[in-house]
Amino acid sequence: MNILIIGSGGREYSIGLALKNRSNVDKIYFNPGNGATDMLGVNIPIKDFSELADFVVANNIELTIVGPEAPLTEGIVDVFKARGLNIFGPSKVAAQLEGSKIFMKNFLSRHNIPTAKYIETNSLEVAYKFIETLTPPIVVKADGLCGGKGVIIALSHDEAKKEAGEMLSGNAFGNAGKSIVVEEFLDGYELSVFAICDGKDYVILPAAQDHKRLLDNDEGPNTGGMGAYVPTPLVNEDIYKKLEDRVVKPTLKGMQEENMPFTGVLFMGVMVVKGEPIILEYNVRFGDPECEEIMPLLKNPLDLFYKAAIGDLANAKIEFFDKFAVGVVMASKNYPYSDSVPAEIIVDDIVHESLSENSHISYAGVSRDKDGKLYATGGRVLVCVGVGDSIKEAQQRAYMLCGQVHFAGKQCRSDIAYQALKIEG
Ligand SMILES: Nc1ncnc2c1ncn2[C@@H]1O[C@H](COP(=O)(O)OP(=O)(O)O)[C@@H](O)[C@H]1O
Ligand SMILES: [Mg+2]
């Protein structure tokens, strides 16, 4: 089977790598791909969705997998489905669960799915009034997509009002902030839980924990994610069960009832407060870097994507290796503040078999020059992934691999999975 993967990050690289290594696939295409995905398949630069659908037909591609949110909210799935093509991801209307925080919060509230108390508004007056009723910290969120920067945790009423004003005036995030959500602050720990959905059935994947802050001990600025591990011991059967009954089932049912059945990845941003899972937000695709650790644990990744895309998850055989994976992001020098000068990437030969067999790199922000040399060109450059029988072993392998990778200005956290290791010992 020929496959097309949409996107250009480490997430898409990891999906391609898993399919190539452990599923029966023929050719893999990436659109647009990055400077390293051409080691796994063929990069194609087409931008227009209809043209891309033409390419899919012409090249006998039987399945398209969409990595990032932007093409989903722009309706790529609708264009492909209208042409009778198999595509993994939600339709444009269903993708609003990520594309509009107001849509998502109102959906949760209509279906009694646990979430933080909130209001949505485009009126400063209404925002001010609600802010006064909350005790700081107070959370202010822009409605639309802001590349992970549209959420402010304000430490005082005044700060919350100021941020709400900045957003509503359009100064902070343009149109994405012209409507906002104001909500109560939830104090707990965060999990990323992914449910693969085919419109009616679902499979919940082992939960992950991301590390959003740039520096060790969760200090420094927020980033797109500096590392993650799977599965996390911070979740137990009770939490999975509650998520299933209170979140996933009512969501799939609600989306069906409202004529926008949900297909693809339902990414639950969960805050666990006193043992109760509460939904912070939905995304409609895999997290990056969580995907890079989930993929190596899947025995047959193709089954998951293909069966979900054709609406036959009930007959999918989804199995996981009984292992742990830890991924450490290596970012370029000025990340997340500004661009960095491209730097050549050198990866030492790995001589230890236990390391070469149980670790790999998922490439993200890289480009290749005409001599075939790889350069770090993006903010998050690559992810070093280690797999092991314990989180500790997986972490050690991930960091040993980091030690073999060199480029000027490289930065990474040294404590990915620290919360789990406190528990695992
Ligand atoms: N109600 C809340 N209480 C506490 N923290 C929150 C709340 N809402 C969001 N956050 C924090 O802000 C981060 C970003 O918010 P989120 O809703 O996931 O938006 P996005 O990922 O689109 O920026 C979350 O990962 C969480 O750490
Ligand atoms: Mg989020």
Q: Which residues pair with 120 in a beta bridge?
A: 181
Confirm whether 110 is domain-assigned. no
Do residue 158 and residue 214 come from a single domain? Answer: no
Atom nearest to 269 CA in ligand 1: 18
Measured from the CB, is residue 329 less than 6 Å from ligand 1? no
Q: Residue 378's pLDDT is what?
A: 84
Measured in Å, residue 16 CA sits from the centre of ligand 1 at: 29
Confirm whether 99 is domain-assigned. no
Which of the listed residues 264, 294, 315 is the one where a domain comes to its end?
315
Do residue 163 and residue 193 come from a single domain? Answer: no
Confirm whether 97 is domain-assigned. no
pLDDT 10s per residue in the chain (425 long)? 999 999 999 999 999 999 999 999 999 999 999 999 999 999 999 999 999 999 999 999 999 999 999 999 999 999 999 999 999 999 999 999 999 999 999 999 999 999 999 999 999 999 999 999 999 999 999 999 998 889 999 999 999 999 999 999 999 999 999 999 999 999 999 999 999 999 999 999 999 999 999 999 999 998 999 999 999 999 999 999 999 999 999 999 999 999 999 999 999 999 999 999 999 999 999 999 999 999 999 999 999 999 999 999 999 989 999 999 999 999 999 999 999 999 999 999 998 999 999 999 999 999 999 999 999 998 999 999 999 999 999 999 999 999 999 999 999 999 999 999 998 76
Give the number of domains in the chain: 4
Q: Give the number of other CB atoms < 10 A from CB of residue 352.
A: 11
CA distances from 35 to 44, 156, 233, 368 (A): 12, 45, 35, 5
Do residue 420 and residue 343 come from a single domain? Answer: yes
Measured in Å, residue 363 CA sits from the centre of ligand 2 at: 22
Do residue 387 and residue 412 come from a single domain? Answer: yes
Measured from the CB, is residue 183 less than 6 Å from ligand 1? yes
Residues 6+ apart with CB under 8 A from 382: 10, 36, 329, 330, 345, 361, 362, 363, 364, 365, 366, 376, 405
Q: Which residues pair with 65 in a beta bridge?
A: 5, 88
- Residue with CA nearest ligand 1 atom 12: 151
CATH number of the domain residue 242 falls in = 3.30.470.20
Q: Rg of the Cα trace of the chain?
A: 21
- Residue with CA nearest ligand 1 atom 2: 185
Measured from the CB, is residue 186 less than 6 Å from ligand 1? yes
CA distances from 251 to 65, 97, 132, 278, 349 (A): 22, 10, 31, 14, 47
Do residue 262 and residue 356 come from a single domain? Answer: no
Q: Residue 425's pLDDT is what?
A: 67
Q: ∠ at Cα 248 (242, 250), nearest 5°?
A: 100
- Rounded to a whole number, what is the distance in angstroms from the first to the last CA of the chain? 44
Ligand found nearest the CA of 279: 1
Measured in Å, residue 392 CA sits from the centre of ligand 2 at: 26
| Angstrom distance (rounded) from CA 52 to CA 58 | 10
Q: Residue 388's pLDDT is what?
A: 98
Q: Residue 108's pLDDT is what?
A: 98
> Coil, strand, or helix at residue 42?
strand
Confirm whether 301 is domain-assigned. yes
Atom nearest to 281 CA in ligand 1: 17
Ligand found nearest the CA of 145: 1
CATH number of the domain residue 121 falls in = 3.30.1490.20
Do residue 199 and residue 302 come from a single domain? Answer: yes
Ligand found nearest the CA of 271: 1
Strands lying side by side in the sheet with 209-210: 209-210, 227-230, 324-331, 380-388, 359-363
CATH number of the domain residue 81 falls in = 3.40.50.20
Measured from the CB, is residue 190 less than 6 Å from ligand 1? yes
Assign residue 117 a region: left if phi > 0, alpha if psi is -120 to 50, beta otherwise? beta
DSSP code at position 290? H
Strands lying side by side in the sheet with 366-368: 343-344, 374-376, 366-368
Q: Which of 152, 281, 419, when mutated, tests ligand 1's pocket best, judged by the most ligand atoms within 8 Å of its CB?
A: 281
Domain that holds residue 202: 189-315
> Coil, strand, or helix at residue 364?
coil
| Angstrom distance (rounded) from CA 287 to CA 362 | 14
Measured in Å, residue 280 CA sits from the centre of ligand 1 at: 6
Atom nearest to 149 CA in ligand 1: 23
Measured from the CB, is residue 201 less than 6 Å from ligand 1? no
Confirm whether 130 is domain-assigned. yes
Do residue 241 and residue 340 come from a single domain? Answer: no
Question: Model pTM?
Answer: 0.96
Q: Which of 151, 191, 288, when mutated, tests ligand 1's pocket best, judged by the most ligand atoms within 8 Å of its CB?
A: 151
Do residue 220 and residue 298 come from a single domain? Answer: yes
Which of the listed residues 38, 56, 91 is the one where a domain comes to its end?
91
- Residue with CA nearest ligand 1 atom 13: 151
Measured in Å, residue 101 CA sits from the centre of ligand 2 at: 11
Do residue 302 and residue 204 come from a single domain? Answer: yes
Measured in Å, residue 224 CA sits from the centre of ligand 1 at: 13
Do residue 310 and residue 402 come from a single domain? Answer: no
Do residue 210 and residue 240 come from a single domain? Answer: yes
Measured from the CB, is residue 148 less than 6 Å from ligand 1? yes
Measured in Å, residue 22 CA sits from the centre of ligand 1 at: 35
Measured from the CB, is residue 185 less than 6 Å from ligand 1? yes
Confirm whether 268 is domain-assigned. yes
Confirm whether 390 is domain-assigned. yes
Question: What is the four-CA torsion angle of 102, 105, 107, 110, rounded to 10 degrees?
Answer: -120
Do residue 399 and residue 331 come from a single domain? Answer: yes
Measured in Å, residue 98 CA sits from the centre of ligand 2 at: 9
Confirm whether 112 is domain-assigned. no
